[in-house]
Structure 1
């Protein structure tokens, strides 16, 4: 199964200079819980923005056009088709984890979306691509707990792609 996972602000912002524009520990915990023992797909800049090292207990695939790119502890792939072939054989969930161009390329193939919506606006330079929400059904929504470590109100949302007959 191919799924996208991301956090965004009210304006769709997802990044600032290759980093998250906010600190939201509850979202990081959610990301960890969802992606552990599964596969992450990300672009080279997203991977390097995370420190250039794979996250523990996950397989990481870095998608790049650079045919000479190498990084320790990850698989490097160069085409959408390479990743889709991998995803068909993988038993778990293959999560698309950024950046914006990678999300845009893979959205048509995703069957599930996991979005953390932060009820605040931030400054940044990278936005999630436009989603045709008529193709998706919200199947779960839970409010995140705002506290001294999680300063902004937020919610976790799960969407499943609708069948053609539902659209």
Structure 2
């Protein structure tokens, strides 16, 4: 399996200035649970947004810069190279950003999308999900509470 995992607003906003525009602790927990023990494939800007590598995951960074070095990660120069590196993983995860998600749509078999209820100003966006190609398998709503300023829905999509 190749799974894209993201949190995107109703207007497909992912983030602004290389950061998320919301804080959803339960979504972070879900991300950790799903990705721990797996390869996580990301673009350079996503990698650089981390204060340090995430524990118990193999980081694969895609960049066009052939001189780029990323301590704690494997650097590759295409999605094909990233997936070849992760070929023995039962479920590699594509974790962003916007350009990497757009490229990843052609390769992914599943999408784990946290749909944040609201519209946000952003400079990175999740690609539109084409429902002629993708089928919604599960949808679980999470309301606003004392730890979550925004409601959201976990959506699991599978390529038809």
More helix by share: 1
**How far apart, CA to CA, are the structure 1 residues paired with 2:95 and 2:33?**
14
Q: Which has the higher strand share?
A: 2
Alignment check: 8 A CA contact 1:40 1:97 kept: yes
1:1-167 matches, cutoff 5 A: 1-51=1-51, 53-87=52-86, 89-162=87-160
Gaps of 5+ in 2: none
State the TM-score, normalizing by the size of structure 1.
Answer: 0.91
Task: Provide the TM-score with structure 2 as the length reference.
Answer: 0.95
How far is the alpha carbon of 1:49 from its aligned partner?
1.4
- How far has the Cα of 1:130 moved from its partner? 2.4
Question: Secondary structure in 1 aligned to 2:70?
Answer: coil
In the alignment, structure 1 segments of 5+ residues that lack a partner are 163-167
What's 1:165 paired with? Answer: none
Task: Give structure 1 regions of 4+ aligned residues with deviation exceeding 2 angstroms.
Answer: none
Report if aligned partners of 1:10, 1:121 keep a CA contact under 8 Å in 2.
Answer: yes
